Amino acid sequence: MSQPVCIYDTTLRDGTQREGISLSLQDKIKITRILDDLGVAYIEGGWPGSNPKDAAYFQAVKEMPLKHARISAFGATCRVGARPEEDDNIKALVDSETPVVTVVGKSWLLHVYEVLRTTPEENLRLIGESVAYLKSLGREVVYDAEHFFDGFKADSEYALTTLKAAVQNGADWVTICDTNGGTMYWEMEQITCEVARALPGVKIGIHTHNDGELGVANSLAAVRSGATMVQGTINGYGERVGNANLVSIIPDLMLKMNVPCLPDAENLKHLTYVARAVAEIANLPPDSHLPYVGKSAFAHKGGIHVAAIRRNVNSYQHIDPELVGNEMRVLVSDLSGRGNVMSKAEQFGMDVSNEAARQVLEEIKRLENQGYVFEGAEESVAMMLKRAQPDYKAPFELIDFLVMVENRRGRGMLAEATVKLAVADQVMHTAAEGNGPVNALDIALRKALAPVYPRINEFTLADYKVRILDGHNGSAAITRVMIDTQSENRRWTTVGAGPNIIEASWRALIDSIEFGITMVE
């Protein structure tokens, strides 16, 4: 087993620099608990000198009993011409009272001359004195060498000298940063090796951005070359296209490189929950296509793939998804084979014959040619399988429905629907008004079914999505409707499609209600 690596999470600072993310104080506290439970070694909470919210976070987090993580406050070296003890930014770091402080300084002469507008010698003083002052106060100091790889390629001797200034003044870690995200992985390995040779015995961290789509690869390359700390964010959140994604790095280290980075290997099973919980707190939809933790990470669609995994589950999966808290899924579409349909039946606890599976598969392919899509509407597939069983009796059958939309004087637009159903040997004929035709149909359908199936009152229409498939046909275009229905903690999705949006909605609606009545316990 290789030397352990410390995970340094900077979601609460770097992650919030992503366009569209703004975390409240309570959001940051929630994420802190989630990260601590996962077992990361360091949590960078923010920049206390930049805004009141980050300062408030450091006051609040002092009262939190953390099991694993050490909290770090982030800031820059002191200003040109100033002493650290007089610098407001350094004072804010000290006032945060965190056990760890991270200070960022310049490694690239372009930044020394053009951004700081100072001399190389003064920049070295800023680094050395800032680190020394914070160490004199008993803090663990992480020195982040900003733009290190660009600086190294421009002037390797000076870039290394900036690291030595931090080390000679007591820095516990020096983190080399690919701030612009443009370094190639072979450059990453070479330069990190040179840093390790120049600083024997020094603990080296790596901080990469994903501008070249190499944030994860570069982090792993740096570990191979001697880095023992990896900085990154959950889901790769960050400025521009993002930072290195810890949700991929952690399992890559543990499962592919045999490098421990969490206090307990069992913690890896929480990774999918962590990724999705942080996304929800950040008010972003979880990315279905993220490696390891995405909903589609272990989803199988191609017929020959599914046929293979039904014989050996490892034939088309690089790991067991349960290792990271995820699950395998089999999708059904026009690319499917009979094995996809059989797997879906097993998932829903149904025993269907090969002939029934073949018939359902043919129907799926026919419907997808008409505009249906079943990948995100598996419960519509479940209903097709249910209806294919010879002993299945539908809970209701449509006789007819009528929908009217009109503009009534004094009331504005109004929708009204009437529904006639055969339910338990009775004919139920109901009418309802709604704020639109689908809403009116939904209410009328429920009125007809509720006396016989009172559980329908527990179902709520949670989401309704419409997509126009062939817009060049104008108002005659094929429309696809997907409906999400909720009952307590269970949520399911059904689909309908066709040139008539009312009919498409009705098909999705009756699949949803029938599934809830017959298959939701």
Which range of 203-207, 289-293, 315-319, 458-462 scores highest in mean pLDDT? It is 203-207
Give the other-Cβ count within 10 Å of 334's Cβ: 16
CA–CA separation, 221 and 188 (whole Å): 6
In this predicted model, what pLDDT tens digit does every residue of 123-132 receive, in sequence order? Answer: 999 999 999 9
Residue 216 confidence class, pLDDT cut points 50, 70, 90: very high
Q: Tokens standing for 139? A: 């803090």
In this predicted model, what pLDDT tens digit does every residue of 145-178 receive, in sequence order? Answer: 999 999 999 999 999 999 999 999 999 999 999 9
Domain-wise residue ranges, the chain: 6-263, 299-384, 397-519
CA–CA separation, 317 and 18 (whole Å): 32
Does residue 188 have a pLDDT over 90?
yes
* Cα–Cα separations (whole angstroms), residue 347 to 328, 342, 364: 11, 9, 17
Q: For the chain, how big is the Rg over CA atoms in Å?
A: 29
For residues 10 and 333, which has the higher predicted lDDT (pLDDT)? Answer: 10
Q: Tokens standing for 57? A: 């976070």
CA–CA separation, 64 and 472 (whole Å): 58
Beta carbons of 367 and 402 less than 8 angstroms apart = no
In this predicted model, what pLDDT tens digit does every residue of 5-64 receive, in sequence order? Answer: 999 999 999 999 899 898 889 899 999 999 999 999 999 999 997 788 888 999 999 988
Strands (E), 209-338: 229-232, 299-300, 329-330
Q: For residue 221, what are the contacts with CB-CB under 8 A and spacing of at least 6?
A: 185, 186, 188, 189, 192
- CATH number for 6-263 (one of 3.40.50.1820, 3.60.70.12, 3.30.1360.170, 3.20.20.70): it is 3.20.20.70
Question: Which CATH architecture is the domain 397-519 placed in?
Answer: 2-Layer Sandwich (3.30)
Beta carbons of 441 and 398 less than 8 angstroms apart = no
CA–CA separation, 187 and 221 (whole Å): 9
**What is the DSSP-derived secondary structure letter of residue 233?**
B
Span 175-186, mean pLDDT? 96
Residues linked to residue 404 through DSSP beta bridges, in sequence order: 416
Does residue 299 have a pLDDT over 80?
no
